[in-house]
């Protein structure tokens, strides 16, 4: 398990910066990272883009992407990560979208479905997960997986 402290130390050591665009996690990634003393050395901004309009207005996600694939999709997570990275001008951008539950799921997109994207030059990685548990547990598991994916970039 990658802790926030370990991740923070690596980001600071490598002089890398980060911005987040979170939907279903509601800012939990940003909250967890900014609990680390010295986080201002690497954490530049966190945007909670819960509504589709905020995804388009704040992050530059195309409304056509959302209409075609849905807000909970790999392409939207990718666009969120790349959008926040570009707009905040950081080394890394994180985009998270999903269905934390306990309602809102469908047969094609069940409760617990989460897409996590990490954008960095020259590539973006997007992973799909289906987490089990309560709303808070889904959010916490998404944070842990986000740290794991970001750590792989470092």
- Tell me the per-residue pLDDT of 30-53, one tens digit each, with 9 for 90 and over: 999 999 999 999 999 999 999 999
User: What CA–CA distance (Å, rounded) separates 58 from 150?
Assistant: 22
Number of structural domains (the chain) is 1
**Structure tokens that stand for 37 in this block:** 């003393």
- Tell me the per-residue pLDDT of 58-110, one tens digit each, with 9 for 90 and over: 999 999 999 999 999 999 999 999 999 999 999 999 999 999 999 999 999 99
User: What CA–CA distance (Å, rounded) separates 146 from 3?
Assistant: 11
Mean pLDDT of the region 122-145: 98
Give 35-40's long-range contacts (Cβ < 8 A, gap of 24+). 35/4, 36/4, 36/5, 36/8, 38/8, 38/12, 39/8
pLDDT at 1: 86
CATH of the domain at 73: 3.90.950.20
Burial class of residue 17, CB neighbours in 10 A (0-12, 13-18, 19+): middle
Question: Which pTM value belongs to this model?
Answer: 0.97
Judge whether 60 and 80 are in contact, CB under 8 Å: no
Confidence band for 25, pLDDT divided at 50, 70 and 90: very high
Q: Which domain holds residue 62?
A: 4-153
């Amino acid at each position: 398990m990658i802790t926030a402290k370990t991740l923070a130390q690596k980001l600071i050591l490598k002089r890398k910066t980060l911005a987040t665009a979170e939907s279903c996690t509601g800012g939990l990634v940003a909250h967890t990272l900014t609990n680390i003393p010295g986080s201002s050395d690497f954490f530049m901004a966190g945007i909670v883009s819960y509504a589709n309009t905020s995804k388009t207005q704040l992050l530059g996600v195309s409304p056509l992407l959302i209409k075609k694939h849905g807000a909970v999709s790999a392409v939207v997570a990718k666009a969120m990560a790349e959008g926040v990275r570009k707009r905040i001008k950081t080394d890394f951008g994180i985009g998270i979208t999903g269905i934390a539950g306990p309602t809102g799921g469908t047969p094609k997109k069940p409760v617990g479905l989460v897409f996590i994207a990490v954008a960095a030059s020259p590539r973006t990685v997007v992973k799909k997960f289906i987490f089990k548990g309560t709303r808070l547990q889904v959010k916490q598991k998404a944070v842990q997986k986000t740290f794991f994916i970001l750590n792989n970039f470092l």
